[in-house]
Amino acid sequence: MFASLYRLRTFVSRYRGRLVLGIFAFLVARLFEALIPLFLREGIDRIATGNTAVLLPVLGIVGAVLGRFVVVTYARMTVRRVGLQVAFDLRQRLYAQLQQQGAEFFSRYTIGDMMTRAVADISLVQRLIAMGTVLLVILVFAAIVGFGFMLALSPMLTLLILPPLPFTFLYAWYASRQMGIASLDVQERLSDLGAHVQENLSGIRTIQAMVQEDNEIARFARTNQEYANAFYSQAKINSEMAAWMPTVAALCSIIILGYGGSLVMAGEMTVGTLTAFFMYVSMVVQPFRVAGFIVNLFQRAAVASDRLFEVFDLDPEIEDAPSGRTPLQIRGEIEFRHLSFTYPGAAKPALTDVELQIARGESITIMGRVGAGKSTLLKQLVRLVDVAPDSVLVDGHDVLDYPLAQLRAQVAMVPQDPFLFGEPLRDNLTYDDPTRELERIWHAAESADLKETIEAFPEQIDTIVGERGVTLSGGQKQRATLARGLIRNAPVLVLDDCFSSVDTETEEHILSKLKRLRRGQTTILVSHRVSTARHSDRIVMLDAGRIVEVGSHADLIALGGLYAELERIQREGADDADYQAAGAPA
Protein backbone atom coordinates (compact mmCIF):
# COMPACT_ATOMS: atom_id res chain seq x y z
CA MET A 1 0.00 0.00 0.00
CA PHE A 2 2.82 2.44 0.85
CA ALA A 3 4.23 1.98 -2.67
CA SER A 4 1.77 4.62 -3.85
CA LEU A 5 3.15 7.07 -1.28
CA TYR A 6 6.59 6.46 -2.73
CA ARG A 7 5.21 7.25 -6.18
CA LEU A 8 4.16 10.68 -4.91
CA ARG A 9 7.84 11.64 -5.02
CA THR A 10 7.38 12.69 -8.66
CA PHE A 11 4.96 15.37 -7.48
CA VAL A 12 6.94 16.31 -4.37
CA SER A 13 10.33 16.43 -6.10
CA ARG A 14 9.34 19.62 -7.94
CA TYR A 15 9.45 21.39 -4.58
CA ARG A 16 12.39 19.43 -3.17
CA GLY A 17 14.46 22.50 -2.29
CA ARG A 18 11.69 24.16 -0.31
CA LEU A 19 10.87 20.93 1.49
CA VAL A 20 14.50 20.33 2.44
CA LEU A 21 14.72 23.86 3.85
CA GLY A 22 11.60 23.23 5.91
CA ILE A 23 12.90 19.93 7.27
CA PHE A 24 16.28 21.49 8.11
CA ALA A 25 14.46 24.31 9.93
CA PHE A 26 12.69 21.70 12.08
CA LEU A 27 16.08 20.25 13.03
CA VAL A 28 17.27 23.72 14.06
CA ALA A 29 14.07 24.14 16.10
CA ARG A 30 14.78 20.89 17.95
CA LEU A 31 18.27 22.12 18.77
CA PHE A 32 16.83 25.35 20.18
CA GLU A 33 14.36 23.25 22.17
CA ALA A 34 17.21 21.07 23.48
CA LEU A 35 19.01 24.13 24.86
CA ILE A 36 16.15 25.03 27.19
CA PRO A 37 16.67 22.10 29.64
CA LEU A 38 20.40 22.91 29.81
CA PHE A 39 19.76 26.53 30.79
CA LEU A 40 17.07 25.37 33.22
CA ARG A 41 19.47 22.87 34.82
CA GLU A 42 22.03 25.61 35.25
CA GLY A 43 19.50 27.90 36.90
CA ILE A 44 18.15 25.23 39.26
CA ASP A 45 21.61 24.09 40.31
CA ARG A 46 22.66 27.68 40.97
CA ILE A 47 19.64 28.28 43.15
CA ALA A 48 20.20 24.97 44.95
CA THR A 49 23.76 26.05 45.86
CA GLY A 50 22.65 29.52 46.99
CA ASN A 51 23.84 31.35 43.86
CA THR A 52 21.23 33.93 42.81
CA ALA A 53 22.95 34.92 39.55
CA VAL A 54 20.36 33.33 37.30
CA LEU A 55 20.04 36.14 34.74
CA LEU A 56 22.19 34.35 32.17
CA PRO A 57 20.17 31.07 32.29
CA VAL A 58 16.94 33.07 32.09
CA LEU A 59 18.15 35.03 29.05
CA GLY A 60 19.29 31.75 27.51
CA ILE A 61 15.83 30.23 27.93
CA VAL A 62 14.14 33.34 26.48
CA GLY A 63 16.51 33.36 23.52
CA ALA A 64 16.01 29.64 22.85
CA VAL A 65 12.21 30.01 23.03
CA LEU A 66 12.19 32.98 20.65
CA GLY A 67 14.58 31.26 18.25
CA ARG A 68 12.43 28.13 18.25
CA PHE A 69 9.29 30.23 17.63
CA VAL A 70 10.77 31.96 14.57
CA VAL A 71 12.25 28.81 13.06
CA VAL A 72 9.15 26.65 13.65
CA THR A 73 6.90 29.31 12.10
CA TYR A 74 9.07 29.41 8.97
CA ALA A 75 9.30 25.59 8.82
CA ARG A 76 5.55 25.02 9.12
CA MET A 77 4.69 27.67 6.53
CA THR A 78 7.24 26.22 4.12
CA VAL A 79 6.12 22.61 4.43
CA ARG A 80 2.43 23.47 4.30
CA ARG A 81 2.97 25.49 1.15
CA VAL A 82 4.57 22.42 -0.42
CA GLY A 83 1.47 20.43 0.58
CA LEU A 84 -0.81 22.96 -1.10
CA GLN A 85 1.25 22.95 -4.30
CA VAL A 86 1.35 19.15 -4.46
CA ALA A 87 -2.44 19.03 -3.94
CA PHE A 88 -2.86 21.58 -6.75
CA ASP A 89 -0.73 19.47 -9.11
CA LEU A 90 -2.61 16.29 -8.21
CA ARG A 91 -5.97 17.91 -8.93
CA GLN A 92 -4.71 19.21 -12.25
CA ARG A 93 -3.40 15.75 -13.17
CA LEU A 94 -6.64 14.04 -12.14
CA TYR A 95 -8.79 16.53 -14.04
CA ALA A 96 -6.64 16.24 -17.16
CA GLN A 97 -6.79 12.44 -16.92
CA LEU A 98 -10.58 12.47 -16.68
CA GLN A 99 -10.81 14.60 -19.82
CA GLN A 100 -9.14 11.77 -21.78
CA GLN A 101 -11.48 9.01 -20.65
CA GLY A 102 -14.44 7.66 -22.60
CA ALA A 103 -17.77 5.97 -22.10
CA GLU A 104 -16.34 2.72 -20.74
CA PHE A 105 -14.51 4.54 -17.93
CA PHE A 106 -17.58 6.49 -16.83
CA SER A 107 -19.68 3.34 -16.92
CA ARG A 108 -17.34 1.82 -14.30
CA TYR A 109 -16.71 4.88 -12.13
CA THR A 110 -19.41 7.21 -10.87
CA ILE A 111 -19.17 10.99 -10.91
CA GLY A 112 -19.56 11.03 -7.12
CA ASP A 113 -16.60 8.66 -6.78
CA MET A 114 -14.44 10.94 -8.94
CA MET A 115 -15.53 13.96 -6.89
CA THR A 116 -14.45 12.16 -3.71
CA ARG A 117 -11.05 11.39 -5.22
CA ALA A 118 -10.63 14.96 -6.44
CA VAL A 119 -11.55 16.53 -3.10
CA ALA A 120 -11.28 14.14 -0.14
CA ASP A 121 -8.46 11.87 -1.34
CA ILE A 122 -6.23 14.72 -2.48
CA SER A 123 -6.93 16.57 0.77
CA LEU A 124 -5.63 13.52 2.66
CA VAL A 125 -2.39 13.61 0.65
CA GLN A 126 -2.12 17.34 1.32
CA ARG A 127 -2.58 16.76 5.06
CA LEU A 128 0.10 14.08 5.00
CA ILE A 129 2.65 16.43 3.45
CA ALA A 130 1.65 19.54 5.39
CA MET A 131 1.01 17.88 8.76
CA GLY A 132 2.19 14.28 8.66
CA THR A 133 5.64 15.29 7.40
CA VAL A 134 5.90 17.85 10.19
CA LEU A 135 4.95 15.34 12.87
CA LEU A 136 7.21 12.61 11.48
CA VAL A 137 10.17 14.97 11.23
CA ILE A 138 9.55 16.21 14.75
CA LEU A 139 9.34 12.62 16.00
CA VAL A 140 12.62 11.61 14.33
CA PHE A 141 14.57 14.76 15.20
CA ALA A 142 13.21 14.86 18.75
CA ALA A 143 14.25 11.25 19.26
CA ILE A 144 17.76 11.81 17.87
CA VAL A 145 18.40 15.10 19.67
CA GLY A 146 16.65 14.06 22.86
CA PHE A 147 18.41 10.70 23.17
CA GLY A 148 21.73 12.39 22.43
CA PHE A 149 21.37 14.82 25.31
CA MET A 150 19.94 12.09 27.59
CA LEU A 151 23.00 9.94 26.99
CA ALA A 152 25.23 12.88 27.73
CA LEU A 153 23.43 13.52 31.05
CA SER A 154 22.98 9.91 32.25
CA PRO A 155 23.72 6.85 30.08
CA MET A 156 22.28 4.48 32.70
CA LEU A 157 18.91 6.26 32.95
CA THR A 158 18.74 6.35 29.17
CA LEU A 159 19.27 2.59 28.89
CA LEU A 160 16.56 1.91 31.48
CA ILE A 161 13.81 3.50 29.37
CA LEU A 162 14.73 1.66 26.16
CA PRO A 163 13.05 -1.76 26.85
CA PRO A 164 9.42 -0.56 26.41
CA LEU A 165 10.12 1.04 23.04
CA PRO A 166 10.28 -2.16 20.89
CA PHE A 167 6.81 -3.12 22.12
CA THR A 168 5.62 0.32 21.14
CA PHE A 169 6.91 -0.09 17.59
CA LEU A 170 5.44 -3.59 17.26
CA TYR A 171 2.06 -2.33 18.35
CA ALA A 172 2.30 0.64 15.98
CA TRP A 173 3.12 -1.73 13.07
CA TYR A 174 0.13 -3.96 13.88
CA ALA A 175 -2.21 -1.01 14.32
CA SER A 176 -1.05 0.55 11.06
CA ARG A 177 -2.11 -2.55 9.12
CA GLN A 178 -5.53 -2.46 10.73
CA MET A 179 -5.74 1.25 10.07
CA GLY A 180 -5.00 0.69 6.37
CA ILE A 181 -7.92 -1.72 6.01
CA ALA A 182 -10.24 0.62 7.91
CA SER A 183 -9.10 3.66 5.91
CA LEU A 184 -9.80 1.96 2.59
CA ASP A 185 -13.29 1.09 3.79
CA VAL A 186 -13.89 4.69 4.88
CA GLN A 187 -12.82 6.14 1.52
CA GLU A 188 -14.92 3.65 -0.43
CA ARG A 189 -17.98 4.38 1.73
CA LEU A 190 -17.34 8.11 1.27
CA SER A 191 -17.28 7.58 -2.51
CA ASP A 192 -20.59 5.72 -2.27
CA LEU A 193 -22.01 8.62 -0.29
CA GLY A 194 -20.86 11.16 -2.89
CA ALA A 195 -22.16 9.06 -5.77
CA HIS A 196 -25.53 8.67 -4.04
CA VAL A 197 -25.92 12.42 -3.49
CA GLN A 198 -24.81 13.29 -7.02
CA GLU A 199 -27.21 10.79 -8.60
CA ASN A 200 -30.08 11.87 -6.35
CA LEU A 201 -29.72 15.58 -7.05
CA SER A 202 -29.31 14.97 -10.80
CA GLY A 203 -32.60 13.09 -10.82
CA ILE A 204 -34.45 15.24 -8.30
CA ARG A 205 -37.26 16.09 -10.74
CA THR A 206 -37.97 12.43 -11.42
CA ILE A 207 -37.90 11.65 -7.69
CA GLN A 208 -40.38 14.43 -6.90
CA ALA A 209 -42.61 13.61 -9.86
CA MET A 210 -42.86 9.99 -8.68
CA VAL A 211 -43.27 10.97 -4.99
CA GLN A 212 -40.18 8.98 -3.94
CA GLU A 213 -38.69 11.53 -1.51
CA ASP A 214 -39.24 9.36 1.57
CA ASN A 215 -37.82 6.26 -0.11
CA GLU A 216 -34.75 8.20 -1.24
CA ILE A 217 -34.24 9.60 2.26
CA ALA A 218 -34.40 6.07 3.67
CA ARG A 219 -31.99 4.79 1.00
CA PHE A 220 -29.58 7.61 1.76
CA ALA A 221 -29.82 6.81 5.48
CA ARG A 222 -28.53 3.29 4.77
CA THR A 223 -25.60 4.60 2.73
CA ASN A 224 -24.89 7.24 5.37
CA GLN A 225 -24.96 4.59 8.12
CA GLU A 226 -22.46 2.42 6.26
CA TYR A 227 -20.08 5.38 6.06
CA ALA A 228 -20.61 6.17 9.76
CA ASN A 229 -19.91 2.54 10.73
CA ALA A 230 -16.70 2.47 8.68
CA PHE A 231 -15.56 5.78 10.19
CA TYR A 232 -16.35 4.50 13.69
CA SER A 233 -14.19 1.40 13.12
CA GLN A 234 -11.32 3.61 11.99
CA ALA A 235 -11.80 5.95 14.96
CA LYS A 236 -11.77 2.98 17.35
CA ILE A 237 -8.33 1.86 16.13
CA ASN A 238 -7.03 5.42 16.33
CA SER A 239 -8.39 5.84 19.87
CA GLU A 240 -6.72 2.64 21.04
CA MET A 241 -3.39 3.88 19.69
CA ALA A 242 -3.89 7.27 21.30
CA ALA A 243 -4.49 5.54 24.65
CA TRP A 244 -1.49 3.18 24.35
CA MET A 245 1.19 5.80 23.72
CA PRO A 246 0.63 7.87 26.92
CA THR A 247 0.85 4.60 28.86
CA VAL A 248 4.38 4.09 27.52
CA ALA A 249 5.25 7.67 28.44
CA ALA A 250 3.92 7.18 31.97
CA LEU A 251 5.96 3.98 32.38
CA CYS A 252 9.13 5.81 31.34
CA SER A 253 8.38 8.57 33.83
CA ILE A 254 7.99 6.05 36.66
CA ILE A 255 11.35 4.46 35.83
CA ILE A 256 13.12 7.83 35.73
CA LEU A 257 11.48 9.07 38.88
CA GLY A 258 12.41 5.90 40.79
CA TYR A 259 16.00 5.45 39.68
CA GLY A 260 16.76 9.14 39.10
CA GLY A 261 15.35 10.04 42.49
CA SER A 262 17.65 7.51 44.16
CA LEU A 263 20.65 9.04 42.35
CA VAL A 264 19.70 12.50 43.60
CA MET A 265 19.26 11.19 47.15
CA ALA A 266 22.68 9.56 46.92
CA GLY A 267 24.22 12.78 45.65
CA GLU A 268 25.25 11.24 42.33
CA MET A 269 22.95 13.54 40.34
CA THR A 270 21.81 17.13 40.87
CA VAL A 271 18.18 18.16 40.95
CA GLY A 272 18.79 20.36 37.91
CA THR A 273 20.19 17.42 35.95
CA LEU A 274 17.21 15.21 36.86
CA THR A 275 14.82 18.01 35.84
CA ALA A 276 16.63 18.45 32.53
CA PHE A 277 16.57 14.69 31.95
CA PHE A 278 12.80 14.67 32.53
CA MET A 279 12.42 17.42 29.95
CA TYR A 280 14.44 15.46 27.39
CA VAL A 281 12.31 12.39 28.06
CA SER A 282 9.23 14.52 27.48
CA MET A 283 10.84 15.80 24.28
CA VAL A 284 11.35 12.21 23.07
CA VAL A 285 8.07 10.76 24.28
CA GLN A 286 5.75 13.62 23.33
CA PRO A 287 5.79 12.82 19.60
CA PHE A 288 5.01 9.19 20.46
CA ARG A 289 1.80 10.42 22.06
CA VAL A 290 0.58 11.39 18.60
CA ALA A 291 2.06 8.32 16.90
CA GLY A 292 -1.46 6.97 16.40
CA PHE A 293 -2.43 10.18 14.64
CA ILE A 294 0.69 9.95 12.46
CA VAL A 295 -0.08 6.35 11.50
CA ASN A 296 -3.65 7.38 10.75
CA LEU A 297 -2.44 10.15 8.46
CA PHE A 298 -0.03 7.89 6.59
CA GLN A 299 -2.50 5.05 6.17
CA ARG A 300 -5.34 7.25 4.96
CA ALA A 301 -2.98 9.08 2.59
CA ALA A 302 -1.68 5.73 1.32
CA VAL A 303 -5.23 4.59 0.54
CA ALA A 304 -5.98 7.95 -1.08
CA SER A 305 -2.81 7.70 -3.19
CA ASP A 306 -3.78 4.20 -4.31
CA ARG A 307 -7.14 5.52 -5.46
CA LEU A 308 -5.55 8.45 -7.30
CA PHE A 309 -2.93 6.36 -9.09
CA GLU A 310 -5.66 3.88 -10.03
CA VAL A 311 -6.99 6.67 -12.28
CA PHE A 312 -3.57 8.08 -13.25
CA ASP A 313 -2.43 4.67 -14.51
CA LEU A 314 -5.31 4.27 -16.94
CA ASP A 315 -4.48 4.79 -20.58
CA PRO A 316 -6.82 7.07 -22.56
CA GLU A 317 -9.60 4.99 -24.11
CA ILE A 318 -9.23 6.87 -27.39
CA GLU A 319 -5.58 6.91 -28.48
CA ASP A 320 -4.51 10.14 -30.15
CA ALA A 321 -1.73 9.02 -32.52
CA PRO A 322 -1.96 11.09 -35.73
CA SER A 323 0.06 9.89 -38.70
CA GLY A 324 0.97 13.38 -39.89
CA ARG A 325 -0.22 12.52 -43.42
CA THR A 326 -3.74 13.96 -43.18
CA PRO A 327 -4.77 17.34 -44.66
CA LEU A 328 -5.04 20.37 -42.39
CA GLN A 329 -8.56 21.08 -43.60
CA ILE A 330 -11.28 18.44 -43.88
CA ARG A 331 -13.42 18.69 -47.03
CA GLY A 332 -16.30 16.46 -45.97
CA GLU A 333 -16.13 13.20 -47.96
CA ILE A 334 -16.96 10.30 -45.63
CA GLU A 335 -16.87 6.54 -46.11
CA PHE A 336 -17.90 3.74 -43.76
CA ARG A 337 -16.13 0.61 -44.98
CA HIS A 338 -17.26 -2.79 -43.59
CA LEU A 339 -17.77 -1.11 -40.21
CA SER A 340 -18.65 -3.42 -37.34
CA PHE A 341 -18.66 -2.53 -33.65
CA THR A 342 -19.61 -4.27 -30.40
CA TYR A 343 -19.72 -2.47 -27.06
CA PRO A 344 -17.59 -4.10 -24.31
CA GLY A 345 -19.64 -6.72 -22.52
CA ALA A 346 -22.49 -6.59 -25.04
CA ALA A 347 -23.97 -9.87 -26.29
CA LYS A 348 -24.44 -8.73 -29.88
CA PRO A 349 -22.83 -6.12 -32.13
CA ALA A 350 -24.25 -2.59 -32.33
CA LEU A 351 -23.14 -2.28 -35.97
CA THR A 352 -22.49 -5.02 -38.52
CA ASP A 353 -20.72 -4.60 -41.87
CA VAL A 354 -21.93 -1.05 -42.49
CA GLU A 355 -21.02 0.19 -46.00
CA LEU A 356 -21.83 3.81 -46.84
CA GLN A 357 -20.26 6.62 -48.89
CA ILE A 358 -21.19 10.27 -48.33
CA ALA A 359 -20.11 12.88 -50.84
CA ARG A 360 -18.90 16.34 -49.91
CA GLY A 361 -21.84 18.71 -49.46
CA GLU A 362 -24.40 15.90 -49.25
CA SER A 363 -27.11 15.87 -46.58
CA ILE A 364 -27.93 12.48 -45.08
CA THR A 365 -30.64 11.46 -42.62
CA ILE A 366 -30.17 8.23 -40.66
CA MET A 367 -33.29 6.51 -39.35
CA GLY A 368 -34.07 3.21 -37.67
CA ARG A 369 -35.59 1.43 -34.72
CA VAL A 370 -34.59 2.31 -31.15
CA GLY A 371 -31.21 0.62 -30.64
CA ALA A 372 -30.61 0.19 -34.36
CA GLY A 373 -27.13 1.76 -34.03
CA LYS A 374 -27.78 5.32 -35.26
CA SER A 375 -25.95 7.16 -32.47
CA THR A 376 -23.20 4.55 -32.44
CA LEU A 377 -22.54 5.20 -36.11
CA LEU A 378 -22.13 8.92 -35.46
CA LYS A 379 -19.85 8.32 -32.48
CA GLN A 380 -17.57 6.27 -34.71
CA LEU A 381 -17.14 9.25 -37.01
CA VAL A 382 -15.84 11.57 -34.25
CA ARG A 383 -14.20 8.71 -32.29
CA LEU A 384 -16.24 9.01 -29.12
CA VAL A 385 -15.92 5.23 -29.30
CA ASP A 386 -12.91 3.84 -31.06
CA VAL A 387 -13.01 2.21 -34.45
CA ALA A 388 -11.17 -0.55 -36.28
CA PRO A 389 -8.44 0.63 -38.69
CA ASP A 390 -9.64 1.62 -42.18
CA SER A 391 -13.31 1.23 -41.29
CA VAL A 392 -14.16 4.97 -41.19
CA LEU A 393 -12.50 7.30 -43.69
CA VAL A 394 -12.68 11.09 -43.98
CA ASP A 395 -11.46 12.54 -47.30
CA GLY A 396 -9.88 9.16 -48.05
CA HIS A 397 -7.87 9.04 -44.81
CA ASP A 398 -8.48 6.75 -41.85
CA VAL A 399 -10.00 8.72 -38.95
CA LEU A 400 -7.32 7.12 -36.74
CA ASP A 401 -4.72 9.14 -38.67
CA TYR A 402 -6.29 12.50 -37.81
CA PRO A 403 -5.39 14.40 -34.62
CA LEU A 404 -8.38 14.09 -32.31
CA ALA A 405 -8.54 17.85 -31.79
CA GLN A 406 -8.71 18.49 -35.54
CA LEU A 407 -11.23 15.72 -36.20
CA ARG A 408 -13.64 16.88 -33.50
CA ALA A 409 -13.19 20.55 -34.37
CA GLN A 410 -13.93 20.06 -38.08
CA VAL A 411 -16.59 17.39 -37.64
CA ALA A 412 -18.97 19.26 -35.34
CA MET A 413 -21.31 16.97 -33.45
CA VAL A 414 -24.49 18.12 -31.70
CA PRO A 415 -25.28 15.29 -29.27
CA GLN A 416 -28.66 13.84 -28.46
CA ASP A 417 -28.49 15.07 -24.85
CA PRO A 418 -28.72 18.89 -24.95
CA PHE A 419 -26.22 19.66 -22.20
CA LEU A 420 -25.70 23.29 -21.19
CA PHE A 421 -23.34 24.67 -18.57
CA GLY A 422 -24.59 26.81 -15.70
CA GLU A 423 -23.19 29.94 -17.35
CA PRO A 424 -24.61 32.82 -19.40
CA LEU A 425 -26.16 31.80 -22.71
CA ARG A 426 -23.42 33.70 -24.56
CA ASP A 427 -20.72 31.50 -22.96
CA ASN A 428 -22.65 28.34 -23.86
CA LEU A 429 -23.00 29.31 -27.53
CA THR A 430 -19.33 30.29 -27.85
CA TYR A 431 -18.03 27.47 -25.64
CA ASP A 432 -15.20 26.41 -27.97
CA ASP A 433 -14.15 30.00 -28.80
CA PRO A 434 -15.34 32.74 -26.40
CA THR A 435 -13.76 35.44 -28.61
CA ARG A 436 -16.37 35.14 -31.36
CA GLU A 437 -18.00 38.42 -32.36
CA LEU A 438 -21.56 39.20 -31.29
CA GLU A 439 -22.88 39.31 -34.85
CA ARG A 440 -21.86 35.71 -35.45
CA ILE A 441 -23.53 34.60 -32.21
CA TRP A 442 -26.82 36.19 -33.20
CA HIS A 443 -26.58 34.69 -36.69
CA ALA A 444 -26.20 31.18 -35.23
CA ALA A 445 -29.08 31.81 -32.81
CA GLU A 446 -31.30 32.95 -35.68
CA SER A 447 -30.37 29.88 -37.75
CA ALA A 448 -31.42 27.67 -34.83
CA ASP A 449 -34.69 29.63 -34.46
CA LEU A 450 -33.54 30.79 -31.04
CA LYS A 451 -33.22 34.54 -31.60
CA GLU A 452 -36.76 35.50 -30.58
CA THR A 453 -36.49 33.29 -27.48
CA ILE A 454 -33.27 35.00 -26.41
CA GLU A 455 -34.69 38.48 -27.03
CA ALA A 456 -37.59 37.65 -24.69
CA PHE A 457 -35.19 37.03 -21.78
CA PRO A 458 -34.65 40.05 -19.47
CA GLU A 459 -30.86 39.85 -19.91
CA GLN A 460 -31.07 38.37 -23.41
CA ILE A 461 -27.81 36.67 -24.44
CA ASP A 462 -26.27 37.21 -20.99
CA THR A 463 -29.01 35.23 -19.26
CA ILE A 464 -27.64 32.55 -16.94
CA VAL A 465 -29.35 29.28 -17.88
CA GLY A 466 -28.65 27.39 -14.63
CA GLU A 467 -27.06 23.99 -14.12
CA ARG A 468 -27.61 21.79 -17.19
CA GLY A 469 -29.80 24.56 -18.65
CA VAL A 470 -32.49 23.99 -16.02
CA THR A 471 -34.21 27.34 -16.72
CA LEU A 472 -34.85 26.44 -20.37
CA SER A 473 -37.43 24.10 -21.85
CA GLY A 474 -36.38 20.92 -23.65
CA GLY A 475 -36.88 22.51 -27.06
CA GLN A 476 -34.97 25.65 -26.08
CA LYS A 477 -32.03 23.57 -24.83
CA GLN A 478 -31.96 21.60 -28.09
CA ARG A 479 -32.01 24.78 -30.16
CA ALA A 480 -29.25 26.28 -27.98
CA THR A 481 -27.00 23.26 -28.52
CA LEU A 482 -27.82 23.36 -32.23
CA ALA A 483 -26.76 27.01 -32.35
CA ARG A 484 -23.56 26.04 -30.55
CA GLY A 485 -22.88 23.52 -33.33
CA LEU A 486 -23.84 25.86 -36.18
CA ILE A 487 -21.63 28.70 -34.97
CA ARG A 488 -18.57 26.55 -35.62
CA ASN A 489 -19.33 26.41 -39.38
CA ALA A 490 -17.55 23.04 -39.58
CA PRO A 491 -17.08 21.21 -42.91
CA VAL A 492 -19.08 18.30 -41.46
CA LEU A 493 -22.05 18.78 -39.13
CA VAL A 494 -23.45 15.79 -37.27
CA LEU A 495 -26.86 16.19 -35.60
CA ASP A 496 -27.88 13.32 -33.33
CA ASP A 497 -31.67 13.56 -33.03
CA CYS A 498 -31.48 17.19 -31.90
CA PHE A 499 -35.08 18.04 -32.94
CA SER A 500 -36.89 15.50 -30.75
CA SER A 501 -38.17 18.21 -28.34
CA VAL A 502 -38.88 20.77 -31.07
CA ASP A 503 -42.35 21.09 -32.57
CA THR A 504 -42.79 20.29 -36.27
CA GLU A 505 -43.39 23.88 -37.37
CA THR A 506 -40.22 25.14 -35.67
CA GLU A 507 -38.32 22.19 -37.08
CA GLU A 508 -39.42 23.12 -40.61
CA HIS A 509 -38.14 26.67 -40.09
CA ILE A 510 -34.80 25.42 -38.82
CA LEU A 511 -34.34 22.85 -41.60
CA SER A 512 -35.08 25.36 -44.33
CA LYS A 513 -32.46 27.74 -42.88
CA LEU A 514 -30.07 24.86 -42.34
CA LYS A 515 -30.29 23.80 -45.98
CA ARG A 516 -29.33 27.30 -47.17
CA LEU A 517 -26.66 27.75 -44.50
CA ARG A 518 -25.00 24.36 -45.10
CA ARG A 519 -24.99 24.50 -48.93
CA GLY A 520 -21.77 22.81 -50.10
CA GLN A 521 -21.05 21.34 -46.66
CA THR A 522 -21.71 17.82 -45.42
CA THR A 523 -24.57 17.33 -42.95
CA ILE A 524 -25.53 14.05 -41.26
CA LEU A 525 -28.73 13.97 -39.24
CA VAL A 526 -30.33 11.32 -37.04
CA SER A 527 -34.11 11.66 -36.78
CA HIS A 528 -37.28 9.65 -36.28
CA ARG A 529 -39.53 12.03 -38.25
CA VAL A 530 -40.25 11.60 -41.93
CA SER A 531 -40.89 15.35 -42.11
CA THR A 532 -37.23 15.84 -41.19
CA ALA A 533 -35.82 13.14 -43.44
CA ARG A 534 -37.54 14.31 -46.64
CA HIS A 535 -35.31 17.44 -46.69
CA SER A 536 -32.19 15.31 -47.09
CA ASP A 537 -30.48 14.22 -50.28
CA ARG A 538 -30.49 10.61 -49.11
CA ILE A 539 -32.04 8.62 -46.28
CA VAL A 540 -30.30 5.64 -44.66
CA MET A 541 -32.45 3.10 -42.82
CA LEU A 542 -30.69 1.05 -40.12
CA ASP A 543 -32.13 -2.11 -38.61
CA ALA A 544 -30.32 -4.20 -35.98
CA GLY A 545 -27.02 -2.52 -36.80
CA ARG A 546 -27.24 -3.09 -40.58
CA ILE A 547 -28.14 -0.77 -43.45
CA VAL A 548 -31.32 -2.11 -45.00
CA GLU A 549 -32.44 0.81 -47.21
CA VAL A 550 -30.69 3.78 -48.84
CA GLY A 551 -32.23 6.37 -51.15
CA SER A 552 -34.16 9.60 -51.46
CA HIS A 553 -37.58 10.10 -49.92
CA ALA A 554 -39.29 9.28 -53.22
CA ASP A 555 -37.08 6.23 -53.83
CA LEU A 556 -37.82 4.71 -50.43
CA ILE A 557 -41.55 5.40 -50.67
CA ALA A 558 -41.55 3.56 -53.99
CA LEU A 559 -39.55 0.70 -52.43
CA GLY A 560 -42.37 0.01 -49.97
CA GLY A 561 -40.11 -1.08 -47.10
CA LEU A 562 -39.53 0.10 -43.53
CA TYR A 563 -39.35 3.77 -44.47
CA ALA A 564 -42.57 3.62 -46.46
CA GLU A 565 -44.33 1.96 -43.52
CA LEU A 566 -43.05 4.66 -41.16
CA GLU A 567 -44.23 7.39 -43.55
CA ARG A 568 -47.69 5.83 -43.77
CA ILE A 569 -48.10 5.60 -39.99
CA GLN A 570 -46.92 9.17 -39.39
CA ARG A 571 -49.06 10.48 -42.24
CA GLU A 572 -52.13 8.80 -40.77
CA GLY A 573 -51.53 10.58 -37.47
CA ALA A 574 -50.04 7.90 -35.19
CA ASP A 575 -47.82 9.65 -32.67
CA ASP A 576 -44.17 8.72 -32.34
CA ALA A 577 -44.48 7.35 -28.82
CA ASP A 578 -47.14 4.80 -29.74
CA TYR A 579 -45.21 3.83 -32.82
CA GLN A 580 -41.95 3.28 -30.96
CA ALA A 581 -43.74 1.38 -28.23
CA ALA A 582 -45.01 -0.97 -30.90
CA GLY A 583 -41.43 -1.71 -31.94
CA ALA A 584 -41.61 0.03 -35.31
CA PRO A 585 -38.67 1.90 -36.75
CA ALA A 586 -37.97 5.31 -35.22
What is d(CA 121, CA 187) in angstroms, rounded to the nearest whole number? 8
* Residue 237 confidence (pLDDT): 74
Q: What would the mean pLDDT of 24-36 be, rounded to a whole number?
A: 86
> How many whole angstroms separate alpha carbon 61 and alpha carbon 66?
9
Give the CATH class of 3-312. mainly alpha
pLDDT band at 151; cut points 50, 70, 90: confident
Q: Which of 306-320, 370-384, 418-432 has the lowest mean pLDDT?
A: 418-432
pLDDT classification of 583: cutoffs 50, 70, 90: very low
pLDDT of 291 over the 70 cut: no
CATH of span 334-581:
3.40.50.300
Positive/negative CA dihedral, 212, 213, 216, 218: negative
91-114: per-residue pLDDT in tens? 888 888 888 787 777 777 777 778
Say if residues 545 and 368 touch (Cβ distance below 8 Å). no
The DSSP string of 349-363 is: -SEEEEEEEE-TT-E
Q: Which residues pair with 546 in a beta bridge?
A: 543
Q: What pTM does this model have?
A: 0.72
Task: Give the per-residue pLDDT at 586.
Answer: 35
Length, in residues, of the chain: 586
Q: Is 246 left (phi over 0), alpha (psi -120 to 50) or beta?
A: alpha
Do 50 and 282 touch, CB atoms closer than 8 A? no
Percentages helix, strand, coil for the chain, rounded to the nearest 5? 65, 10, 25
* Residue 272 predicted with pLDDT over 50: yes
**pLDDT band at 116, cuts 50/70/90?**
confident
The domain ranges of the chain are 3-312, 334-581
DSSP state of 230: H
pLDDT, mean of residues 485-504: 79
Rounded average pLDDT over 536-562? 86
pLDDT at 424 over 60: yes
- pLDDT at position 70 is 92
Q: Averaged over 536-555, what is the pLDDT?
A: 86
Q: Quote the mean pLDDT of the chain.
A: 79
The stretch 472-486 carries a mean pLDDT of: 77
Q: How confident is the model at residue 190 (pLDDT cuts 50, 70, 90)?
A: confident
3-class DSSP assignment, residue 352: strand
User: Of 167-176, 479-488, 499-508, which one has max mean pLDDT?
Assistant: 479-488
% of residues, the chain, pLDDT over 90: 1
Q: How confident is the model at residue 66 (pLDDT cuts 50, 70, 90)?
A: very high
pLDDT bracket for residue 35 (50, 70, 90): confident
